[in-house]
């Protein structure tokens, strides 16, 4: 079994999987990065997406919630760089966005580049 190390600003976790197994379980990456905490405005996870170009990854979470009595959709983005079985994770605050409709959020996710 291969081992992969997740790294987030000084925090490390060794897991018994390879990158393919991790990509198929994107929720694990978000739980690791955010210590299991959910976004208080959009706490309901709809779906996770992964985009890859060589050893560069974008891990994307689409979620929903209520804000000022209106439904809102949130897109949270983490960047991953894989080097020697170590996945370095970083939050992409400039790519995190909220939307009034799910269609707008999905269109934005489609346009995200790695």
24 backbone dihedrals φ, ψ, rounded to 5°: -75, -5
CA 68 to CA 20: how far, in whole Å?
39
Per-residue pLDDT of the chain (114 residues; tens, 9 = 90+): 577 888 888 788 888 787 787 777 889 999 999 988 888 899 999 999 999 999 999 999 999 999 999 999 999 999 999 998 899 999 999 999 999 999 999 999 999 988
Closest C-alpha among 21, 33, 83 to residue 56: 83
């Amino acid at each position: 079994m291969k081992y992969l190390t997740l790294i987030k600003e000084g925090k490390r976790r060794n897991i018994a999987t390879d990158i393919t197994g991790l990509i198929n379980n994107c929720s694990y990456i978000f739980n690791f990065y955010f210590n299991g905490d959910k976004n208080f405005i959009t706490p309901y996870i709809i779906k996770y997406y992964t985009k890859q170009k060589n050893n560069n990854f974008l891990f994307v979470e689409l979620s929903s919630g209520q804000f000022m009595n209106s439904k809102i959709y949130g897109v949270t983005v983490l960047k991953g760089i894989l080097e020697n079985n170590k996945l370095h994770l970083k939050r992409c605050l400039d790519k995190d966005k909220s939307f009034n409709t799910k269609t707008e959020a999905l269109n934005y996710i489609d346009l995200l580049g790695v």
